Amino acid sequence: MRKIFTLQSLLKTATIASALLFTLATGPMSHAQEPTTLTLALHWEPSFQPTQEAFDAAFMERHPEIKIEVIYNTWADHNAIVPTWAAAGELPDIVYTHGSRATPWAAGEICANLDSYIETDEDFNVEGIFPVALEQYQYEGNQYALPYDHGVILLGYNKDAFDTAGMAYPDETWTMDNFREAAVALTIPGQQWGFGGYYNGIPLAGEGAVSFLGPWGGASFNETEDALLFDSEGSRTALNFWYGLMAEGVIPNQEDVGSMGGGQIMYTGQDAMWAMASWETPAFADLAAFAWDVAPWPEGPEGRVTGAFGSGFCITSQSKNPDAAWLYLSEYLSEEGMIAMWGETGRGSPAREAAYQSWIDSELSPDNAEFYLEALAEYAVNGRPYASVTGPEIIDVINQNQTLLNTGEITVEQFITNVKEQTDPIFAREN
């Protein structure tokens, strides 16, 4: 029988076909009529993507010369993917920038300096953005990203739990002593924890640490973020306060959280109170099958203070269309943009005061949502670290030791000693 295909003829055919395909794929094409394509990297989940698409469609109608293409990462992957893109020289024009990434991405030249755009664009009202929110994205005195959301931690509470116990809801008169008394009273061993902490843990860095250490005058980092302050009197007192509550079974410990799952405890109403950031309210509105609301963060011996944090966007240093990117950002982060994207949808507390009311009035925000605005204006402080490049490394050490503190394997004093010993070399290396 005659052979139709030999190995040689197959190889030749494959080579010619590959060459043809390559020529077709890379051949010259007319770009004269093509709009500028602007690429955005976001992490919105599918349910929020239609809101983004609606905004983009309206933007492209206003600016037909610009075409928007969105890449959706998952929340878990985004912070690792963006540096990988940067290393490969493949950064999109605009990237979502979590507050914790603001400084590393500015120092790492992922984000471009926006000062010249902010200064020259008279239509962009930068003064309308909360100063505390802008501060988060400043690096060496320059603005590298702009916030869209800036949230605050307040005291969330389960109204049903308070009603069942016949106790009055928390209010602006509450001190940490009132809080403690109520948390102990509301604890029902095996059924209900008086206080769930922040995502069912005691936060010792970031915005949570401000709320948990600040009322006693404590803090995790100093102002310049080149030393830890866990060994200060205020921090030590605060740590003993919170871990004392955990030892009493008022706050779930590592084993409780490991057994139940942090979210499971919160959303099923097994926490009578918890530390509640504004960005968490949509999830509660969606999942909590009990009545809940928020109250001001209790006042401590050293005053009332709570943590603030947020997210924003930056134009990347590799953007080939920075002017178009600025045009997009200036509309996306305008008052109207924030209202449409995050205010009216209830998605998050906008970083502009003028847009904030739209979120307070939205269906997903709690009844007492105006306390968030009050906190932002009066006693919210950004969680540290946000200005140091070594922040993630220091937090890693804090977390390692905190897991032992949570299991009761080490004491507060041992935690303070361990963390100091293990972070000193890191600070020394960077300083």
Partner 1 sequence: MALMPKRFFRLTMRQREARDFYLCILPWLIGFILFTGGPVLYSFFISLTNWTGMSTREWVGFQNYIDLFTVDPLFKTVLANTFVYGVGSVWLGLVVAVGIAILMNQKVPGISIFRAIYYLPSVTSGIAIAIMWAWMFNPRSGLINYVLSLVGIDGPGWFSSSQWAMTGLVIVSLWGIGPNMMILLAGLQGIPQHLYDAAKIDGANAWQEFIHVTLPMLSPIILYVTVISIIGSFQIFENVLVLTNGGPGTSTRVLVFDLYQNAFVNSRMGYASAQAWILCIIIMFMTWLMFRISKRSVYYEGTEE
* Chain positions contacting partner 1, by CB under 8 A: 7-8, 11, 79-80, 83-84, 86-87, 104-105, 107-110, 254-255, 258-260, 389-390, 392-393, 396, 399-401, 403-404, 406-407, 409, 422, 425, 429
**Residue 102 near residue 137, CB atoms below 8 Å:** yes
CA distances from 159 to 218, 360, 398 (A): 30, 19, 34
| Residue 246 Cβ vs partner 1, minimum distance, rounded to whole Å | 13
- Give least dist CB 97 to partner 1, A: 13
Nearest approach, Cβ of 283 to partner 1 (angstroms)? Answer: 20
The alpha-helical segments, DSSP class H, found in 123-198 are 131-135, 159-165, 176-186
Q: Which is nearer to partner 1, 216 or 243 (CB)?
A: 243
Cβ at position 351, least distance to partner 1 in Å: 25
For 32-141, where are the alpha helices, taking DSSP H only? 49-62, 75-88, 102-107, 115-120, 131-135
Contact 136, 349 (CB under 8 A): no
Instruction: Kindly tell me which of 47 and 407 has the beta carbon lying closer to partner 1.
Output: 407
CB of 86 to partner 1, least distance (A): 5
Segment holding 38, helix H or strand E: strand 36-42
* Alpha-carbon span 203 to 259, nearest angstrom: 19
**Least separation, in Å, of the C-beta of 20 and partner 1?**
17
Quote the CA–CA distance of 170 and 165 in Å, as a whole number.
13
The DSSP secondary structure of 186-197, one letter per residue, reads H-BTTTBBS---
- Between 37 and 259, CB nearer to partner 1: 259
Q: Write down the least CB distance from residue 429 to partner 1, Å.
A: 8
Closest to partner 1 by CB, 345 vs 422, is 422
If the CB atoms of residues 237 and 390 are measured against partner 1, the closer one turns out to be 390
Nearer CB in complex with partner 1: 33/74: 74
Which DSSP string corresponds to 240-303? HHHHHHHHTTSS--HHHHHHH-HHHHHHTT-BSEEEEEGGGHHHHHHH--S-EEEEPPPBBTTB
Choice between 37 and 84, CB closer to partner 1: 84
Least distance in angstroms from the C-beta of 395 to partner 1: 9
How does 179-197 read in b/e, with b if 16+ C-beta sit within 10 Å? bbebbeebbeeeebbbbbb
Nearest to 357 by CA among 339, 332, 341: 339
User: CB of 385 within 8 A of CB of 378?
Assistant: no
Of 177 and 409, CB closest to partner 1? 409
